[in-house]
Amino acid sequence: MLTWHHDTHHQGYVNGWNAAEETLAENRDAGEFGSSAGALRNVTHNGSGHILHDLFWQNMSPEGGDEPSGALA
């Protein structure tokens, strides 16, 4: 479940943030800002999703970590 959470859910926030940043850069280059409001909302949504997930992963294993061991592994 955590692999899916990282590789699909969290990655979706990263991809969305990158796509929104690309849209903003294209808008700046073209001088066309009609889609900038939506892109800014996507930067806010996806950027915060990524940052919060990054905090989640750091709190799950602050020193990195190996494969789990013990009776519950």
What residue spans define the domains of the chain?
A: 35-59
d(CA 43, CA 46): 5
- Residue 73's pLDDT is 67
Instruction: Please compute the mean of the pLDDT values over residues 6-23 and round it to a whole number.
Output: 97
Q: How far apart are CA 28 and CA 6, in angstroms?
A: 32
Q: Is the pLDDT reported for residue 54 higher than 90?
A: yes
Does the pLDDT of residue 30 top 70, yes or no? yes
Q: What is the mean pLDDT of residues 67-72?
A: 76
pTM of this structure: 0.80
